[in-house]
């Protein structure tokens, strides 16, 4: 029984290492392959996906208008959505989920036991991140050329996109904070394996 548990732990560690390597490779492909190319083709303008501070609905509308007359940056953005962005959210969500499994959320929080429903919610965070990331990508495909959405679609999606992006980054940041918390507590626990 113990050998089986150790085998499962090793398998999970191996899968986590593969997903970490894939995430890093895809991230490098996106930010070294597409972001500089878009910036060069757009005369120094950043794509919305690369704006770490987020963006507003006006930025989305401005980008839609700009890309209508700029086929080169539009093609680069479209290629990114249909290239690495097809798999990056899935791979990163999988990595975050595996890391959570490895650190084992549980124990206590401010002296109270963490309820199973809260643990389930913690494990849902990486899935939520992936759904929000894919939602952002789908909205981009529906908005930016070669798509030619009607004005109503542009208005709707330009209002939704900033909210989607904020939810995406919020879920990512909360997941990373929780990972750090549970990893530190696991490390500091007497037997080095149980969070508290």
Contact 127, 157 (CB under 8 A): no
Region 102-116: what's the mean pLDDT?
77
**Structural domain includes residue 194:** no
Count of domains observed in the chain? 1
**Structural domain includes residue 193:** no
Binned at pLDDT 50, 70 and 90, residue 196 comes out as very low
**Structural domain includes residue 7:** yes
Binned at pLDDT 50, 70 and 90, residue 108 comes out as low
Of the candidates 55, 45, 31, 46, the one whose C-alpha atom is nearest the C-alpha of residue 157 is: 55
Contact 174, 125 (CB under 8 A): yes
Percent of the chain with pLDDT over 90: 74
Instruction: Please give the C-alpha separations between residue 17 and each of 6, 123, 185, in angstroms, as whole numbers.
Output: 16, 19, 22
The reported pTM is: 0.88
pLDDT of residue 112: 77
Q: Give the bridge partners for 186, in sequence order.
A: none
Q: What is the rounded radius of gyration, in angstroms, for the C-alpha atoms of the chain? A: 20
| Alpha carbon distance 149, 61 (integer Å) | 12
Range of the domain at 135: 2-188
Q: Over 80: is that where the pLDDT of 106 sits?
A: no
**Structural domain includes residue 112:** yes
pLDDT of residue 151: 94
Whether the ω angle into residue 78 lies within 30 degrees of 0, i.e. cis, is: no
**Structural domain includes residue 196:** no
Q: Over 80: is that where the pLDDT of 188 sits?
A: no
**Structural domain includes residue 64:** yes
Helix (H) or strand (E) run with residue 113 in it: strand 112-113
The two tokens of residue 10 are 């090793």
């Amino acid at each position: 029984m113990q050998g089986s548990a150790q085998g499962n732990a090793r398998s999970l560690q191996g899968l986590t290492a593969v997903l970490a390597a894939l995430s890093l490779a895809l991230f490098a492909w996106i930010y070294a392959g597409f972001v500089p190319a878009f910036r060069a083709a757009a005369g120094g303008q950043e794509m919305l996906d690369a704006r770490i501070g987020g963006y507003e609905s006006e930025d989305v509308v401005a980008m839609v208008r700009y890309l209508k007359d700029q086929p080169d940056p539009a093609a680069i953005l479209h290629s990114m959505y249909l290239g690495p962005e097809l798999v990056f959210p899935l791979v990163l969500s999988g990595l975050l989920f595996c890391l959570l499994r490895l650190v084992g959320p549980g124990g206590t929080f401010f002296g109270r036991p963490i309820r199973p429903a809260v643990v389930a919610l913690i494990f849902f965070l990486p899935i939520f991140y992936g759904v929000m990331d894919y939602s952002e990508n789908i909205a981009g495909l529906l908005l930016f050329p070669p798509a030619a959405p009607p004005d109503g679609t542009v208005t709707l999606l330009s209002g939704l996109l900033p909210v989607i992006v904020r939810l995406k980054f919020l879920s990512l940041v909360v997941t990373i904070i929780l990972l750090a918390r549970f990893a530190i507590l696991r490390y500091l626990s007497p037997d080095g394996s149980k969070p508290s």
